[in-house]
Structure 1
Amino acid sequence: MLKVNEFERDIGSIYGSSQYPFSTQSNINYRVENIEELENNSFSLLTKIIEHFLSNQVPRLEVLDQYAKGLNTTIYNRESRREENKADYRRAHNFGKIIAQFVAGYTTSVPVKYAIEDDKQQEQVDEFNTYNDVVSLDNELMYDVAKYGRAFELQYRTGKERQQSNNVKLSNVFETFVIYDNTIERNPIAAVRIVQVQDISGSGEEQYTVNLYTDSKIVTFKNITRAIGQLQVIDDTPHFYNAVPIVEYNSNRYRTGWYEDVISLIDAYDAVNSDTSNYMTDVVNSLLVISGDFQAPIGKDGKSGVNQLINNVKKYGVLALQSGTDPQGNSTSIDAKYINPEFNSTASENYQQRLYKDIFMMSNVPNLSDESFSGNSSGVAMRYKIFGFEQAIAQTINSFKRSLGKRYELLGHITANLKGGLVEFGNVKVTFTPNLPYAISEEVAMLMSAGVPLSRKTMYNQTHFTDADNEEANLEQEEHNGLDSKEKDSQHKQFDSEKVVTVDDE
């Protein structure tokens, strides 16, 4: 059984990992007829599913995680060079991190907006979002979706009696999966969290806790070891969510990561970059060939100084040789040169650049380091450059919205089941705002040239340093202060005028 929790702690090993391409079994959805099928024969089917998840699905997630950390498995697992004196660099490039961060940043850096018609329900949604820092949670979920093609969140309650609170947290993909039914709707029947228990005693035996979440209860099993054996129930607790409280988020219907399709290109880029580094080092350590008739200096031990000659070259970088003489007494010639392996640096650089462009093109993620992404580009030009990405991200956003809807369905259920709760939550409208630079000045100029009026509040909202409501309040205060100042000036003038008249009368 694999150590499913080590990846979250960043101590997973890159060696011995499964290789790309992944098998079909590494990304299948688990489906059963009903919950009774899972519970039959002391959860024997559930045991098989857990074993399959750890053996077939976790290795794929591990590889995807490593490509986001620059621990690319292919370049680090390739065979060492046979020549002992040859350089053997392994240059890994974390394109996975760049791609995943762009996807998460584009979609969730501007906080997702949640709106519901009922004011009281809106207040509860806002309170729930603030308490659970949903802004950060959405970003973490989208980052996992971009990396693994899937992400999970768990809702639960903590506290006692009236002090209880509704919580939602990210659940690690290495320890979570959902089981669906066989219908066309693919309804979730149950979800599983298998968490490795830290071995404080140092016994070396790996133990795991297993929790099964159904639509009505949480079943906790006795800790298991590598040999799972039979699952034994030790706790059975109702949760009142009326649905499985673990929600799965997908990148698309195939649950593929955003850089999963370009791993082979990343491997090729790693290989050619590493080979270039090896060549540059090997040139420095090239073979020195000396030809001709020469006398090697005598070493300190009085023996042949060939070794001394080599040491002098390494230490001082200077080669001093004395030539011999032919039978006629003429000096013989000596030649010394390095033998370098042939290497077409231009072709190598062109190949690297082509791979670099292909990685971004095939993943549909724009290469922001490209010179075409200049600050002088118009807003329309920028949108055309990311047109392919916007077509692909639409699938991810639509899938994400469906899962967000389930989040607030669960919140509505638990609220309705508790004392003082609402009968039912209405539909929560979810709005994504792309995190993109917009050419606001162009759009404003276009509207003004067309004679379309813009309110002062709208104009304030287009700037990054003002808030419309605050600015309106500030203006009102300034206008009020201005009127007060004018009235005071008028009163002072009137008082001075009356004072002058009184003096004249005297």
Structure 2
Amino acid sequence: MAIIRDRAFMPDPNEVSLELLASCVKEHQTGIARMEKLDEYYRGKHEILKRPESTTGLPNNKLVANHAKYITDIAVGYVLGNSVKYDGKQIEPVTDLYKTLDISSHDSEIGKDLSIYGIGRELYYFSSDEVPIPKLTCIDPRKLFLVVDDSVEYKSLFGVHYYPQTDIDGKADGFKVIVYTANNTIEYNTKSLTNAGDYVQVSVKPHYWDAVPVVEFWNNEEQMGDFEGVITLIDAYNTLASDRVNDKEQLVDAILKVKGMSLGDDKAEASKTIQLLKELKVLEMPSQDADAEWLIKQLNEQQVEVLRNAIKSDIHEFSMVPDLTDENFASNASGVAMKYKLFGLEQLAVTKERYFKQGLRERLAMFGRALHIKGQKVDTADAKITMTRNLPANDLEIAQLINLLIDRVSDETLISLLSFVEDPAEEIKKVRQQREEAMKLQQQAFGMSMGEQDDPDDEDVDDGASE
């Protein structure tokens, strides 16, 4: 989450003391270990891989079932798989810019950070083109943070982006620290992030955003990742799966017990006998009392499978992301039935959407200010943000519903229900144009021109002439 400081420590909104800067960087670093662990789990580097090797030579498999990645990918795809839609009277310049920036791809990127770390941060800047345009980028929250005041509104004080530098040979050579205030971008070099005396100012430049160009997104009120609460269950599942394979390997490596007989008088003779056994698959018993059998570990597969399914069920239950490979998710299920099965995921999505929209509104306002500086009239206050769930659509079922609601609900609302229609208003225009063209063709086929009608006066003239 954002770092909180009293505004009294920053009397000038465009100057950050080195003591305050070093203190905030130090506090931000205390949360990096948590984010590192979450990132490792998403990438499949789970705790089971750190299990020490056996000193007795027993099997030590380390299996990773990456439920963490599954949970994040499904949650992000469900909430942000369909592009966010924006409607408003004076936001067209912003939406046009969004198309240029491919904002939907960026939304997925920030949504992934939210799902993994519980928080995501955007940095805004102007491009280096001959005619600069406002742009944005999603930066790893381990390298970018926001500082806010301690008021109930949590107003932004400044943002900080820092990362390690290297020399020409690729060796570590200190850090670059960039501070973003309401109007300026201040760059520093330092050997130590937490020692204010090591900071050396490199440059100060205006950024023209008229606000701190950093926006923080939350995944939920606690700023927790989607799989963070089930990491212990994921570890238990990995351990169970690994030990299950270990037991199977030990079963294969079972010991042969022989009774009332000898395989040889010495090691060489016994080895020769064992080799013959492997080749011929025959063991001759010297007497009726002689016997041979395998010493194996008795495995209760049924109990192990019950425990595995219980842990897997708990992972999906407490993360609220269902197992879509489960037999309950039939391909022929109706839309309503599917929604009931996805009820838990929908509750997760509602929370994610509510907090995501807060960040989107801050982004709109940021771009609105930037375009206003460039002389374009933009008002984002009344912008309507719509997020549509990415679900398999039963268009036949929806089409039947539309037929029942014709003349009771507006055409635009009905058309918006169809999954393959992106812009309902534009689709209505196309339909009207298509109807007009069809009518023209029909009239031409009957020798009539568009708008041609019978004139009553002409009929009277014709009648008089016939008489």
With structure 1 as the length reference, what TM-score do the two structures score? 0.78
Residue identity in the other structure for 1:233 = Q
In the alignment, the residues of structure 2 paired with residue 82 and residue 317 of structure 1 have an alpha-carbon distance, to the nearest angstrom, of: 34
**Aligned-pair CA distance for 1:177:** 1.1
Contact 2:25 2:194 in 1 (8 A): no
Query: Which of 4, 22, 41 is the matching residue for 1:47?
Result: 22
Alignment correspondent of 2:387:
432
Alignment correspondent of 2:55:
82
Query: Which of 174, 178, 182 is the matching residue for 1:211?
Result: 178
For structure 2, which runs of at least 5 residues remain unmatched after alignment?
449-467
In the alignment, the residues of structure 1 paired with residue 320 and residue 280 of structure 2 have an alpha-carbon distance, to the nearest angstrom, of: 51
In the alignment, the residues of structure 1 paired with residue 359 and residue 386 of structure 2 have an alpha-carbon distance, to the nearest angstrom, of: 13
Higher relative contact order (CA 8 A, sep 6+): 2
CA gap of 1:53–1:160, structure 2 versus 1, over 3 A, is same
CA gap of 1:417–1:382, structure 2 versus 1, over 3 A, is same
**Aligned-pair CA distance for 1:133:** 0.9
For structure 1, which runs of at least 5 residues remain unmatched after alignment?
1-27, 324-330, 489-506
Query: Which shifted more, 90-99 or 433-442?
Result: 433-442
In the alignment, the residues of structure 1 paired with residue 10 and residue 216 of structure 2 have an alpha-carbon distance, to the nearest angstrom, of: 22
- Which residues of 2 match residues 396-415 of structure 1 at below 5 A? 396-415=352-371
Alignment correspondent of 2:41:
67
Residue identity in the other structure for 1:364 = M
**Aligned-pair CA distance for 1:400:** 0.8
Residue by residue over 1:351-404, the C-alpha shift from the partner in whole angstroms, topping out at 9 and shown as x without a partner, is 111111111110111221121111232222222222222223222211111111
Query: Which of 117, 130, 141 is the matching residue for 2:89?
Result: 117
In the alignment, the residues of structure 1 paired with residue 232 and residue 6 of structure 2 have an alpha-carbon distance, to the nearest angstrom, of: 38
CA gap of 1:282–1:471, structure 2 versus 1, over 3 A, is farther
Query: Which shifted more, 342-351 or 283-292?
Result: 283-292
Alignment correspondent of 1:241:
209
Alignment correspondent of 2:301:
345
Alignment correspondent of 1:220:
187
Query: Which shifted more, 127-136 or 438-447?
Result: 438-447
For the residue of structure 2 that corresponds to 1:342, the secondary structure is coil
Alignment correspondent of 1:309:
273
RMSD: 3.0
Alignment correspondent of 1:152:
121
For the residue of structure 2 that corresponds to 1:462, the secondary structure is coil
Contact 1:157 1:164 in 2 (8 A): yes
Contact 1:294 1:334 in 2 (8 A): no
For the residue of structure 2 that corresponds to 1:83, the secondary structure is coil
Query: Which of 28, 32, 42 is the matching residue for 2:5?
Result: 32
Residue identity in the other structure for 2:26 = E
In the alignment, the residues of structure 2 paired with residue 475 and residue 413 of structure 1 have an alpha-carbon distance, to the nearest angstrom, of: 42
For the residue of structure 1 that corresponds to 2:142, the secondary structure is helix
Alignment correspondent of 1:493:
none
For the residue of structure 1 that corresponds to 2:377, the secondary structure is coil
Residue identity in the other structure for 2:76 = A
Alignment correspondent of 1:251:
219
User: Sequence identity of aligned pairs in percent?
Assistant: 25
Query: Which shifted more, 255-264 or 56-65?
Result: 56-65
Question: Is 1:269 the equivalent of 2:237?
Answer: yes
**Aligned-pair CA distance for 1:44:** 2.1
Query: Which shifted more, 408-417 or 451-460?
Result: 451-460
CA gap of 1:35–1:236, structure 2 versus 1, over 3 A, is farther
Alignment correspondent of 2:107:
138
- Which residues of 2 match residues 377-388 of structure 1 at below 5 A? 377-388=333-344
**Aligned-pair CA distance for 1:189:** 1.1
Alignment correspondent of 1:103:
75
In the alignment, the residues of structure 1 paired with residue 332 and residue 63 of structure 2 have an alpha-carbon distance, to the nearest angstrom, of: 34
For the residue of structure 2 that corresponds to 1:247, the secondary structure is strand
In the alignment, the residues of structure 2 paired with residue 154 and residue 286 of structure 1 have an alpha-carbon distance, to the nearest angstrom, of: 61
In the alignment, the residues of structure 2 paired with residue 35 and residue 233 of structure 1 have an alpha-carbon distance, to the nearest angstrom, of: 23
**Aligned-pair CA distance for 1:322:** 6.0
**Aligned-pair CA distance for 1:452:** 5.6
Contact 2:120 2:217 in 1 (8 A): yes
In the alignment, the residues of structure 2 paired with residue 142 and residue 277 of structure 1 have an alpha-carbon distance, to the nearest angstrom, of: 36
Alignment correspondent of 2:457:
none
For the residue of structure 2 that corresponds to 1:373, the secondary structure is coil
CA gap of 1:319–1:52, structure 2 versus 1, over 3 A, is farther
Query: Which of 116, 126, 139 is the matching residue for 1:171?
Result: 139
In the alignment, the residues of structure 1 paired with residue 53 and residue 351 of structure 2 have an alpha-carbon distance, to the nearest angstrom, of: 42
**Aligned-pair CA distance for 1:252:** 1.1
**Aligned-pair CA distance for 1:343:** 2.1
Alignment correspondent of 2:461:
none
Alignment correspondent of 1:365:
321
- Which residues of 2 match residues 453-464 of structure 1 at below 5 A? 458=414, 462=418, 464=420
For the residue of structure 2 that corresponds to 1:249, the secondary structure is strand
Alignment correspondent of 2:452:
none
Query: Which shifted more, 217-226 or 143-152?
Result: 217-226
For the residue of structure 2 that corresponds to 1:357, the secondary structure is helix
Contact 2:26 2:193 in 1 (8 A): no
Residue by residue over 1:36-90, the C-alpha shift from the partner in whole angstroms, topping out at 9 and shown as x without a partner, is 4499995123223323433x22221111112112221x21122333321x21111
Query: Which of 272, 281, 295 is the matching residue for 1:318?
Result: 281
Residue identity in the other structure for 1:359 = I
**Aligned-pair CA distance for 1:487:** 3.9
For the residue of structure 2 that corresponds to 1:70, the secondary structure is coil
